[in-house]
């Protein structure tokens, strides 16, 4: 099915821990739009590659794996009426498994391969369905949906992002080390920003929002203020 360019898209790009997923999910739920967590696709691919013993040094097999990847997203109502997004690889629920920092790092490594990115393009664009799509990642506004309705580039200081990730992991009962997280986040920033294929950078027409000192709800309210004028254009 072809992509319908008349359907509105909000893109949220930015580095790890800036709050992209949180904001994108809030917006999708508020607007009743679809949600695409593009990073989850790269994470699932990293998991599948490890399962099949394919390394980042084998772009040809990774490309085939990316093309054939059996990844599914299921959105369901959680206990507090907020939507919960679950991710399946083949028929296995990998929602928690893909959230480890190891998986994030592995995803960042294979995401540097142009063959892999190309193989995932069409799959990502297929999420553009009525009444609208909110999506987050690294290249949503620059490459995947260059004509998006509203593009946000969400940042926060590396220290604040590491602190958020630390708290998030601890809340999930996952052991974490703040210093190590800071280093891993810094390493991922460099790799994601310096690669040649679709590097992490704001689109020319993106609004840059620094959330270092903003609460989750402040970020959400700010974006809601920007949206109406973009939807009218
Ligand atoms: N503005 C904010 N202030 C404080 N914590 C935040 C903020 N935005 C997100 N968080 C928290 O930080 C963690 C990482 O957010 P997440 O949305 O997963 O980031 P990303 O998708 O950019 O990696 C989550 O636990 C989330 O609740
Ligand atoms: N659109 C995207 C999304 C993610 N990636 C890569 C680069 C990221 O470091 C990894 C993991 O992305 P993800 O958004 O899940 O990571 P964070 O939640 O921001 O820590 O995948 C990408 O290259 N392009």
Residue 135, Cα to own-chain centre: how many angstroms? 7
Quote the pLDDT of residue 76: 87
**Strand, coil or helix: 13:** strand
Residue 20 Cβ contacting ligand 1 at under 6 Å: yes
Specify the residue for token string 């909110």.
Answer: 134
Is the pTM higher than 0.90? The answer reads: yes
Taking the centre of ligand 2 as the mean of its atom positions, its distance from the CA of residue 84, in whole angstroms, is: 19
Is the pLDDT at 233 greater than 80? The verdict is no
141-153 CB burial, b ≥16 within 10 A, e <16: bbbbbeebbbbbb
pLDDT band of 129, cuts 50, 70, 90: very high
Residue 174 Cβ contacting ligand 1 at under 6 Å: no
Nearest ligand to the CA of 214 is 1
CA angle 64, 96, 118 (to 5 degrees): 25
Give me the residues paired with residue 76 across strands: 84
CB 182 within 8 A of CB 189: no
The span from the CA of 83 to the CA of 87, in Å, is 13
The interface predicted TM-score of the complex, written ipTM, equals 0.99
Taking the centre of ligand 1 as the mean of its atom positions, its distance from the CA of residue 140, in whole angstroms, is: 18
Q: Which domains does the chain have, with CATH numbers?
A: 9-226 (3.40.50.300)
How far is CA 170 from each of CA 81, 103, 145, 176, rounded to the nearest angstrom? 24, 17, 34, 7
Mean pLDDT of 37-66: 97
Nearest CA to ligand 2 atom 10: 108
Q: Which helix (H) or strand (E) holds 122?
A: helix 114-125
The span from the CA of 230 to the CA of 42, in Å, is 29
């Amino acid at each position: 099915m072809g992509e319908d360019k008349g359907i509105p898209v909000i893109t949220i790009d930015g580095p790890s821990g800036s709050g992209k997923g949180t904001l994108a999910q809030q917006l999708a739920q508020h607007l009743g739009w679809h949600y695409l967590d593009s990073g989850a696709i790269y994470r699932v691919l990293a998991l599948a590659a490890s399962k099949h013993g394919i390394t980042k040094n084998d772009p040809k097999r990774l490309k085939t794996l990316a093309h054939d990847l059996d990844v599914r997203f299921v959105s369901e109502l959680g206990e507090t009426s907020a939507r919960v997004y679950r991710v399946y690889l083949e028929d296995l629920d990998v929602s928690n498994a893909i959230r480890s920092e190891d998986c994030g790092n592995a995803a960042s490594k294979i995401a540097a391969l142009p063959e892999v990115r190309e193989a995932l393009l069409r799959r990502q664009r297929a999420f553009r369905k009525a009444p609208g799509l909110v999506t987050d990642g690294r290249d949503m506004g620059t490459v995947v949906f260059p004509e998006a309705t509203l593009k946000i580039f969400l940042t926060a200081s590396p220290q604040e992002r590491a602190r958020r990730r630390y708290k998030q992991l601890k809340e999930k009962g996952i052991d974490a080390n703040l210093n190590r997280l800071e280093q891993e986040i810094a390493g991922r920033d460099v790799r994601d920003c310096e690669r040649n294929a679709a590097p992490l950078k704001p689109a020319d027409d993106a609004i840059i929002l620094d959330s270092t000192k903003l609460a989750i709800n402040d970020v959400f309210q700010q974006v809601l203020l920007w949206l109406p004028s973009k939807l009218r254009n």
